[in-house]
Amino acid sequence: MRVAIIANDAEKSRVTATELKRLLDAADIELNQERPTVVITVGGDGTLLGAFHQYLEMVEHVRFIGVHTGHLGFYTDWRNYELELLVESLKKDTGQSVSYPLLDVCIHFNDELADAHHVALNEATIRNIERTMVAKVSIEGECFEMYRGDGLSMSTPTGSTGYNKSLGGAVVHPRVNALQLNEIASINNRVYRSLGSPMIVAPNEKVTIDLKRDDRYQLHLDHYVRSYDNLSSLELTLSKKRIHFASYRHTHFWRRVNDSFIGKIKDED
Ligand code: NAD
């Protein structure tokens, strides 16, 4: 086992990472930032997202573990005061893991540029940053609707509790192998019409977003933002790759959702 540690800049995270290094050293577990088999992030969901993109090339050969130094996160199972327990679990590791779906994004450009491929853990969001986005949305090559509005977002099941939820999308259990397409402030009136509700797309279906205006667009891939003025279309599908987490402990998904969004409630009759 080779372990990499990725911590965010917060003082608490840095202290936690230093202590983790000391414990791993004492347990004779190799630290290796370049070729890890296990990546431990210390911080929050954002730190895990950053580490995912950092190790994307080797994502099939790496298992992630999230230590959180704030609230229980969606990608972080361990608390900063549980490091000894975590190192004990690493010592007894038998390769146990759980995997979740990822989103594949293929970008086509107006000019001669070759297509670009990206993978997202939470979601991809496309927005026209100049005026109303007009886009033909096709599913499996068949025109479904002409969308008009601020933009569109496609999320993975684990990303469904992120930006997708703020857009009014459904929270999807990560064992469901599907993507969710969501509208951002669509225009729906007697002239223009799109579905107006989130859609769950089947695992083998490709959604194509044909951008009808030569404008400037912003593409968000998780926490990364890029601007383009030569975008032609996007193709969105479930990725063949999946993210793997070392599953030494299991936090029930709906408990995590409750903990994050609802909190303790009085059991009233
Ligand atoms: P950030 O790092 O400031 O994160 C924003 C919040 O989203 C944090 O509280 C984070 O814990 C939470 N978050 C991240 N992934 C989540 C997930 N899968 N489920 C539930 N909560 C999650 O923001 P950023 O770096 O700009 O973007 C990171 C992610 O944050 C994005 O991929 C997006 O899903 C989410 N986000 C949400 C909104 C929103 O709800 N309006 C806005 C921006 C970003």
**CATH, residue 57:** 3.40.50.10330
Shared domain check, 187 and 88 = no
Q: What is the residue with the minimal CA distance to atom 17 of ligand 1? A: 162
Per-residue pLDDT of the chain (269 residues; tens, 9 = 90+): 999 999 999 999 999 999 999 999 999 999 999 999 999 999 999 999 999 999 999 999 999 999 999 877 889 889 989 999 999 999 999 999 999 999 999 999 998 778 999 999 999 999 999 999 999 999 999 999 999 999 999 999 999 999 999 999 999 999 999 999 999 999 999 999 999 999 999 999 999 999 999 999 999 999 999 999 999 999 999 999 999 999 888 778 998 899 889 987 666 65
Shared domain check, 228 and 127 = yes
Question: Is 234 part of a structural domain of the chain?
Answer: yes
Q: What is the pLDDT of residue 268?
A: 63
Cα–Cα–Cα angle for 211, 57, 108, rounded to 5 degrees = 15
Say if ligand 1 is within 6 A of residue 77 CB.
no
Shared domain check, 130 and 208 = yes
Shared domain check, 142 and 77 = no
Shared domain check, 134 and 80 = no
Shared domain check, 217 and 108 = yes
Shared domain check, 135 and 36 = no
Catalytic residue among 25, 45, 214, 267: 45
Question: Is 122 part of a structural domain of the chain?
Answer: yes
Atom of ligand 1 nearest to the CA of 155: 34
Atom of ligand 1 nearest to the CA of 73: 11
Say if ligand 1 is within 6 A of residue 76 CB.
no
Say if ligand 1 is within 6 A of residue 183 CB.
no
Residue corresponding to tokens 């779906």: 101
Residue 256's domain comprises 2-96+247-262
Shared domain check, 231 and 133 = yes
Question: Is 117 part of a structural domain of the chain?
Answer: yes
Tell me the three-class secondary structure of 154-213, residue by residue: EECCHHHHCHHHHCCCCCCCCCCCCEEEEEEEECCCCCCCCCCCCEEECCCCCEEEEECC
Question: Is 267 part of a structural domain of the chain?
Answer: no
Question: The domain spanning residue 111 has which CATH number?
Answer: 2.60.200.30
Shared domain check, 107 and 90 = no
45 belongs to the catalytic site:
yes
Which of these, 60, 211, 66, lies nearest to 147 by C-alpha position? Answer: 211
Q: What is the pLDDT of residue 266?
A: 63
- Strands 78-79, 97-109: pairing kind: unpaired
What is the tally of structural domains in the chain? 2
- CA distances 76 to 1, 49, 63, 160, 246, Å, are 20, 11, 13, 16, 11
Question: Is 269 part of a structural domain of the chain?
Answer: no
Shared domain check, 211 and 125 = yes
pTM (two decimals): 0.94
Question: Is 155 part of a structural domain of the chain?
Answer: yes
Shared domain check, 232 and 121 = yes
Q: What is the residue with the minimal CA distance to atom 4 of ligand 1? A: 46
Give the pair of three-digit tokens for residue 253: 């998904």
Q: What is the residue with the minimal CA distance to atom 32 of ligand 1? A: 222
Shared domain check, 213 and 110 = yes
How far apart are the C-alpha atoms of 212 and 241, rounded to whole Å? 30
